Amino acid sequence: MKKLAEEFKAFVMRGNVLDMAIGVIIGGAFGAITSSLVGNVITPLLAWLFGSPNTDALNIVLRPESAPEAGDAIILGLGTFVGAIVNFLIIALVLFLVIKAFNKAHEMAGKKKAEEEAAVEEEPAPTSEQLLGEILEVLKNKQ
């Protein structure tokens, strides 16, 4: 049992698991933000465009409540579906922008590192023969 606990602790303390846990927590918080944006900003704007106080204008009633058969109404909730699509598109757009920025930063860091390595390679230290040759030229030019 003690070995199992130690293995579990080693597993949980690995960087990948911690990164994944942080990602899930941030993803949940981001999901709440986008749900609020869709529910409190975009959906009311869509309802306003359709001239309704809410997204009921986008819903299709298949069977009203007052129908003589079974009591519950059947409503095709297109407004809710459109809200879910908008929510998905916002999340996808933000993730695309984050990944694009990350790739750009990674690319710039790679270019900078390559330039530094090239600069180091381009400037080799002069050999003692080269230095002696330069000194000889300077001395010849003085005479």
User: What pTM, to 2 d.p., does this model score?
Assistant: 0.52
Domain boundaries, the chain: 2-142
pLDDT confidence of residue 123? 65
pLDDT in tens, 83-133: 788 878 888 888 888 889 888 888 888 887 777 776 666 666 788 888 888
Average pLDDT taken over every residue of the chain: 79
The whole-angstrom separation of Cα 37 and Cα 39 is 6
- The one-character DSSP state at 39 is I
CATH code of the domain made up of 2-142: 1.10.1200.120
> CB within 8 A of 82, min separation 6: which ones?
46, 55, 58
Percent of the chain with pLDDT over 70: 86
Cross-strand pairs, 74:
63
